[in-house]
């Protein structure tokens, strides 16, 4: 395979050597997979993947069940790069998606969505019918990605018809909302017309996750159809559905879509969605009328066709009405969960004798005290495990704010930073629309370790949740800053990199009186 050649060439290029250095034998690498240190096991996985033989690939597959995230994630990424159909066949067998271990099934199923060779997609049927919603959703995501890349096997029209029947049945079924939504998005890549018709039919379904997916499919219809259905969805009871509707209308960039957004601005109860609409209007017009609807209507009346805003980056600050900052980072949501990394670096002592945790104590208390009484919040510090203050968001009353601040200041938990599980826990709250994650940017614990892989998994999951991921990165490596910024951009959030000295400055703006 060419992977081994490319790997060797890379080594030569970096070292300036005239010939490749000796490589470890298969038996040596097999032994390294049993080493006590996960770093050595991960290195063995990378070397085995570069060998690209059946024997080495089987060993990489075996590493999918490693309990350490950095080893298993490395194996998951490696098997997803396979381009040999004979090796891909192993991935859909008993060592992959049909393994007994649920984590191996899940990892293998996701990796199948990235392989660049044909495989028997019918072998995914067990995953599609799994009781585990995450495995079923992942299998549908794999079908979606492979269909989009035109790598699904289509031997005849009957096979295509079978997929249409299977996916349509899952959409109309009684399963979890995100599984039904994933089936609809997969169907879009196989038969767009069938998916669009079905999406319209389920726009009034009780499951908000399915309605979110349906609106994303509606965005692929004609401008008028997208406008009609998205404008109607602006009044949906679910902020998640309204968030998709706002995105659809922003993309249309028509006079009618802008008018619909202006009218929604006057009645939208969620600070985050109001802020998104305001930023769009400011960037589109070059004007700032705040919440003056008449002024915005007058501007909209001047529009005669689609226009360009000169790029996708925001040219104006994200507009919100909470008037709250944490270490200089403006909050734009009034339904927010703060996730705070308590791993090793948080306990470093800075100039002045205070730990970073003590600096954050002060900033967080001031931030919480600045929240308007109508806001709702929660705290989830995390080490190897998430440590929630409350099970769900609570109102930002004086008593709750004081209680939360005292609770956080008393925490002295230490350990590796398992941000992925903390995020999943936070996403279980049906009311949260924004996560604010304060971290050094380096995941160090849990079953997930690779940051790039985490981003792909979280963005996929978030299609049915529409939660914004904001991140405050303290002394984070530059490469990790880029990945966190990518997660923020793809979820409607923002990312800000700080130096630890920023935690020692003022950095907090108080909100209006309670």
Mean predicted confidence (pLDDT) in 32-47: 97
Residue 157: pLDDT band by 50, 70, 90 thresholds? low
Query: With pLDDT > 70 as the criterion, what percentage of the chain qualifies?
Result: 89
Residue 513: pLDDT band by 50, 70, 90 thresholds? very low
Task: Identify the pLDDT of residue 151.
Answer: 80
Render the burial of 59-76: b for 16+ CB within 10 Å, e for the rest: bbbbbbbbebbbbbbbbb
Of residues 309 and 253, more confidence is placed in: 253
pTM more than 0.75: yes
- The overall average pLDDT reported for the chain is 89
Mean predicted confidence (pLDDT) in 108-132: 90
Of residues 500 and 388, more confidence is placed in: 388
For 306-348, write each residue's pLDDT tens digit. 665 544 444 444 544 557 888 888 999 999 999 999 998 888 8
Task: Identify the pLDDT of residue 411.
Answer: 96
For 360-400, write each residue's pLDDT tens digit. 999 999 999 999 999 999 999 999 999 999 999 999 999 99
Task: Identify the pLDDT of residue 505.
Answer: 62
Find the DSSP H helices in 286-370. Answer: 293-300, 356-370
In residues, how long is the chain?
514
Q: Name the CATH superfamily for 324-504.
A: von Willebrand factor, type A domain (3.40.50.410)
At 506, is the secondary structure helix, strand, or coil?
coil
Pairing of strands 329-331, 495-498: unpaired
Q: What's the rounded Cα separation, in Å, for the pair 55 and 345?
A: 41
Single out the residue of 277, 240, 211 nearest to residue 431, CA to CA: 240
Q: What is the DSSP string of 399-437?
A: HHHHHHHHHHHT----S---HHHHHHHHHT-TT--EEEE
Task: Identify the pLDDT of residue 310.
Answer: 43
**Element containing residue 217 per DSSP (H, E):** helix 208-218
Six-digit token string for 513? 């009186």
Mean predicted confidence (pLDDT) in 267-289: 96
Task: Identify the pLDDT of residue 23.
Answer: 67
pLDDT of 63 strictly over 90: yes
Task: Identify the pLDDT of residue 318.
Answer: 52
Report CA-CA distances (Å) from 19 to 13, 14, 48, 51, 103: 10, 12, 20, 17, 40
Of residues 6 and 159, more confidence is placed in: 159
Cβ-contact 265, 283 below 8 angstroms: no
Task: Identify the pLDDT of residue 312.
Answer: 42
CA angle (511, 513, 514) in 5-degree steps: 105
Between helix 102-112 and helix 69-79 the angle, nearest 10°, is 40
Mean predicted confidence (pLDDT) in 33-57: 96
Mean predicted confidence (pLDDT) in 224-251: 98
Task: Identify the pLDDT of residue 159.
Answer: 60
Q: What's the rounded Cα separation, in Å, for the pair 6 and 52?
A: 11
Single out the residue of 85, 137, 139 nearest to residue 111, CA to CA: 139
Least trusted range by pLDDT, from 144-148, 152-156, 208-212: 152-156
Least trusted range by pLDDT, from 103-112, 194-203, 296-305: 296-305
Task: Identify the pLDDT of residue 296.
Answer: 97
pLDDT of 208 strictly over 50: yes
Mean predicted confidence (pLDDT) in 219-230: 98
Task: Identify the pLDDT of residue 317.
Answer: 47
């Amino acid at each position: 395979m060419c992977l081994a050649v490319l790997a060797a060439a890379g080594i030569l290029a970096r070292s300036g050597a005239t010939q490749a250095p000796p490589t470890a034998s298969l038996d040596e690498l097999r032994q390294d997979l049993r080493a006590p240190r996960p770093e050595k096991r991960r290195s063995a996985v990378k070397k085995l993947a570069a060998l690209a033989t059946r024997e080495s690939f089987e060993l990489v597959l075996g590493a999918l069940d490693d309990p350490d995230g950095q080893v298993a994630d490395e194996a998951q990424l490696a098997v997803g790069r396979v381009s040999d159909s004979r090796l891909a066949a192993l991935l859909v067998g008993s060592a992959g998606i049909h393994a007994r271990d649920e984590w191996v099934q899940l990892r293998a199923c996701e990796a199948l969505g990235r392989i660049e060779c044909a495989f028997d997609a019918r072998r995914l049927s067990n995953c599609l019918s799994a009781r585990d919603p995450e495995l079923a959703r992942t299998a549908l995501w794999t079908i979606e990605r492979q269909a989009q890349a035109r790598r699904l096997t289509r031997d005849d029209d009957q096979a295509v018809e079978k997929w249409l029947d299977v996916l349509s049945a899952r959409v109309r079924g009684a399963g979890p909302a995100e599984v039904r939504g994933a089936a609809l998005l997969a169907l879009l890549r196989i038969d767009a017309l069938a998916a669009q018709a079905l999406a319209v039919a389920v726009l009034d379904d009780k499951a908000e996750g399915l309605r979110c997916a349906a609106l994303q499919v509606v965005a692929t219809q004609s401008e008028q159809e997208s406008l009609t259905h998205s404008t109607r969805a602006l009044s949906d009871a679910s902020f998640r559905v309204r968030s998709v509707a706002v995105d659809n209308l922003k993309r249309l960039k028509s006079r009618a879509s802008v008018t619909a957004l202006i009218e929604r601005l006057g009645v939208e109860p969620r600070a985050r969605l109001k802020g998104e609409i305001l930023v769009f209007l400011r960037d589109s017009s070059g004007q700032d009328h705040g919440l003056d609807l008449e002024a915005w209507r007058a501007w909209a009346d001047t529009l005669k066709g689609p226009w360009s805003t000169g790029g996708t980056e925001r040219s104006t600050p994200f507009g919100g009405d909470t008037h709250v900052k944490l270490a200089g980072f403006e909050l734009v949501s009034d339904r927010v969960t703060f996730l705070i990394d308590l791993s090793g670096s948080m306990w470093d002592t800075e100039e002045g004798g205070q730990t970073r945790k003590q600096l954050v104590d002060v900033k967080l208390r001031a931030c919480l005290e600045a929240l308007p009484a109508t806001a709702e919040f929660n705290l989830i510090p995390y080490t190897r495990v998430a440590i929630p203050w409350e099970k769900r968001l609570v109102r930002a009353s004086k008593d709750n704010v004081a209680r939360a601040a005292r609770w956080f200041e008393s925490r002295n938990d230490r350990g590796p930073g398992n941000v992925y599980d903390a995020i999943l826990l936070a996403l279980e709250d049906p009311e949260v629309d924004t996560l604010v994650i304060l971290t050094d940017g380096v995941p160090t614990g849990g079953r997930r370790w690779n940051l790039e892989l985490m981003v792909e998994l979280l963005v996929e999951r978030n299609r049915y949740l529409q939660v914004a991921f904001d991140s405050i990165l303290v002394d984070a490596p530059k490469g990790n800053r880029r990945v966190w910024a990518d997660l923020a951009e793809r979820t409607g959030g923002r990312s800000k990199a700080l130096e630890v000295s920023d935690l020692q400055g003022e950095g907090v703006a108080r909100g209006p009186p309670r």
